[in-house]
Amino acid sequence: MIRRAKLADRDQVMPLIMVILKDMELTFLSKYGEATTLELLKKGYETDDYRYSYRRAIVAEENNEVLGVAFGYRDTEEPCIDAPLTAFFEAFGIDKDDQLFVDSEVGDNEWYLDSIAVREDQRGKGVGTNLLAALTEFCDYPVIGLNVDLQNPQAEKLYEKMGFKTVGEMTISGHLYHHMQKTLVND
């Protein structure tokens, strides 16, 4: 079943996001470590407006277990989605001027699929496909955008199968990504 995320999902969801952040080789993660970053992200998940807030997520669930998660937001929200996390920096010994993300990731006029992650033991079982298919019910823009690492052709094939098309390239955290979009509604 695909549903909106809940606060109670936090401890199952945040480790999935950590897999993505490690793959991105973020400077923040190497500076503060995985344990601190994970605890910080858990605090952000509980807020209303953070990038990885439960309010911005849908989950695939079976037998009360989260199998996968997808987070997203409107392009116009990108300038402020990380601000809620900075309120917790001092408590975690993090410099107030540091940032988890430094590069813009979103294209104009799109709802951006920031992250999609599936539990390792559930990969290849259609969980990611089901999350992608459900996005049309949860996002509120006529275009969904995402970035896929050029080193992840399997994910890119899945996105193409789901109707996404490459519209450009972006460099995020020193990695080159294809920026892909899917049009949901014709203007």
Which numeric CATH code is attached to 2-97+104-183? Answer: 3.40.630.30
How far is Cα 182 from Cα 39, in angstroms, rounded to an integer? Answer: 34
Q: Per the structure block, which two tokens stand in for 26?
A: 């973020």
Give the closest residue to 51 by CA, choosing from 2, 102, 115, 94: 115
- pLDDT recorded at residue 139: 85
Digit-by-digit pLDDT tens for the chain (187 residues) are 999 999 999 999 999 999 999 988 888 999 999 999 999 999 999 999 999 999 999 999 999 999 999 999 999 999 999 999 999 999 999 999 999 988 899 999 999 999 999 999 999 999 999 999 999 888 888 999 999 999 889 999 999 999 999 999 999 888 899 999 999 865 4
Domain ranges of the chain: 2-97+104-183
Give the closest residue to 170 by CA, choosing from 141, 144, 150: 150
Give just the sign of the alpha carbon dihedral 173, 179, 182, 185. positive
How far is Cα 178 from Cα 168, in angstroms, rounded to an integer? Answer: 6
pTM assigned to the model:
0.92
